[in-house]
Amino acid sequence: MYLTHALHRGVRYWPDRVLTVDGDRAFTTAESAERVARLAGALHTLGVHEGDRVAIVALNTDRHHELFFGSWWAGAVANPLNTRWSAAEIVYALNDSGSKVVLVDEAFAGIVDRLRAEVDCLEAVVYVGRGEAPVGTLVYDDLVAAAEPVEDARRSGDDLAFLLYTGGTTGNAKGVMITHRSFLTSLLSYQMSGAAVRADGVTMLTGPLFHIGALLGWYAQQLLGGKLVFVPTFSPENAMRTIQEHGVTGCALVPTMIQRICEHPDFGSYDLTSLEFIGYGASATPDSLLALVMEKLPHTQLVHVYGMTETGVLTVLNGPDHRARRKLGSVGRASSVVELEIVDAEGRPVPPGTVGQIVTRGDHVMAGYWNKPEETANAMRNGWLQTGDGGYLDDEGYVWIADRLKDMIISGGENVYSAEVENVLAGHPAVASCAVIGVPDPEWGERVHAIVVLRPGQSVTIDDVRSFVKERIAGYKAPRSLSILDEMPMTGTGKVLKRELRASIAGR
């Protein structure tokens, strides 16, 4: 199937419904399709041919929607870039991908000159922001209005749809090649869970649209009909206001976003009863946070999605399991259209309850890393993608994440999984957020080190932390040292940057 099918379907069945809302802009499905066809024509005039990459570096906007469909319509590949990156990282990704056109908004107007000077492959920089366009850019609306619409290229199957660059937390970012087939397979995994986007719903897009999870939510709502509400950046106030104003039925959030909403002092001032489900994932979710969400949003179904850019959706845990406090902490069962195993270091399946590496294969898996055959070969072994995550299966086939394998701490000969300690420590009444890492220790080899951000007016000591943790899990897992920060270093998708934490601790 070709991904532009969703837009063709919408034009046939609900052409006059409002499809996209971005601040004071709104377009019906028919208007959106017309703009997409014109954008594809404009891309052709800018030298974009079949298989070429078209990039966007902008905060969430309806221009993402048009750029994704417009790229495919033109026979090209969409390349949304991480908005948390530095200018140097953006330049690297544009050069690495060979993107011919890049769209930028007002948040990135200041790097236009650098992009033009340092990205040799660029044919054009197009301004999609509000206000006056920077010198040397083309104005998006003028470009679309002047272009002639073209026929849909209808690329499909194993043709590339997205080039999604990983966060670059270890060295240069890698371009993950997502085909039309792999994206749609992940979409089916999500929708077949029975607890995802519903027909005629309203999806709020506040998670960054360079992330696979946000992209799946965006496309699912388009495919089933309904409304897409674009929110440039997340704040709890803006999210709650948007839910109330537009009757939002679903959204995807990372755990830190959910926590900030539920703990906001004005939480009770907004009507959030329209919110039927929250899809969440991307980082570990403490049991204490899940309990808080179920208390504050009793009408909202929680849908845990586990996966990564390279795999799309691997497992899905439906809301009813959460509500019954059953399998709380699990990331769910393997979704219907993927294979998943837990294997040892030699790639052999291990029994239930045994921690090993999570591996997967199927049509949902990426086609590989762009221009990186060695990295692709390391990630794909005998057809199985190596996730790098440690976990185990229980007797009912539910997946439990132990840790990133590289984050496992070996202290005094014992394996300590930081995720387990973090789950306990997050329940401490003084702790707003936390991370656990291993640091070198002359006696233990590595010691368990906790980093915490405290709630306002709270204090904590290492003795407090050790006592709290030892009451709940084995004593050897309790932190032996402690750092207190004002805020955690985070990626654009809400994951704690443990590499930065390790570097800061080592530098002391």
| pLDDT recorded at residue 167 | 58
Question: Rounded CA gap, 281 and 303, in Å?
Answer: 9
Pick the last residue of a domain from 182, 210, 233: 182
Q: Is residue 189 part of a domain?
A: no
Q: Which of 444, 507, 506, 455 is nearest to 484 (CA)?
A: 455
Residue pLDDT tens, the chain, 508 long: 799 999 999 999 999 999 999 999 999 999 999 999 999 999 999 999 999 999 999 999 999 999 999 999 999 999 999 888 888 889 999 999 999 999 999 999 999 999 999 999 999 999 999 989 999 999 999 999 999 999 999 999 999 999 999 854 445 789 999 999 999 999 988 777 665 688 889 999 998 999 998 999 999 999 999 999 999 999 999 999 999 999 999 999 888 889 889 999 999 999 999 999 898 876 667 778 888 988 999 999 888 888 889 998 888 877 667 777 778 778 888 988 899 999 998 999 999 999 999 999 999 999 999 999 999 999 999 999 999 888 999 999 999 988 777 777 878 767 787 878 888 898 999 999 999 988 888 777 789 999 999 999 999 999 999 999 988 887 888 999 999 999 988 776 667 888 788 888 865 5
**Domains: count for the chain:** 2
Element (H, E) at 113: helix 112-118
Residue 449, domain CATH: 3.30.300.30
The strand ranges marked E within 345-444 are 356-361, 368-369, 380-381, 384-393, 398-404, 409-411, 414-416, 431-441
| pLDDT recorded at residue 379 | 92
Q: Is residue 242 part of a domain?
A: no
Question: Rounded CA gap, 176 and 438, in Å?
Answer: 29
437: phi then psi, degrees, rounded to nearest 5: -135, 165
Q: Structure tokens of 474?
A: 């084995």
| pLDDT recorded at residue 21 | 98
Q: Is residue 285 part of a domain?
A: no
| pLDDT recorded at residue 284 | 65
Residue 47, domain CATH: 3.40.50.980
Q: Is residue 270 part of a domain?
A: no
* Residue 330 Cα to chain centre, angstroms: 19
The 3-state secondary structure of 136-205 reads: CCEEHHHHHHHCCCCCCCCCCCCCEEEEEECCCCCCCCCEEEEEHHHHHHHHHHHHCCCCCCCCCEEEEE
Q: Which of 425, 478, 503, 498 is nearest to 167 (CA)?
A: 498
Q: Is residue 196 part of a domain?
A: no
Q: Is residue 475 part of a domain?
A: yes
Q: Is residue 117 part of a domain?
A: yes
Q: Is residue 19 part of a domain?
A: yes
Half-sphere exposure of 13 (CA within 13 A, CB side): 14
Q: Which of 263, 244, 247 is nearest to 255 (CA)?
A: 263
If you write DSSP's letter for every residue of 210-234 in order, what string do you get? TSHHHHHHHHHHHHH-EEEEE-SS-
Pick the last residue of a domain from 164, 182, 200: 182
Name the residue range of residue 138's domain: 5-182
Pick the last residue of a domain from 131, 166, 182: 182
| pLDDT recorded at residue 259 | 87
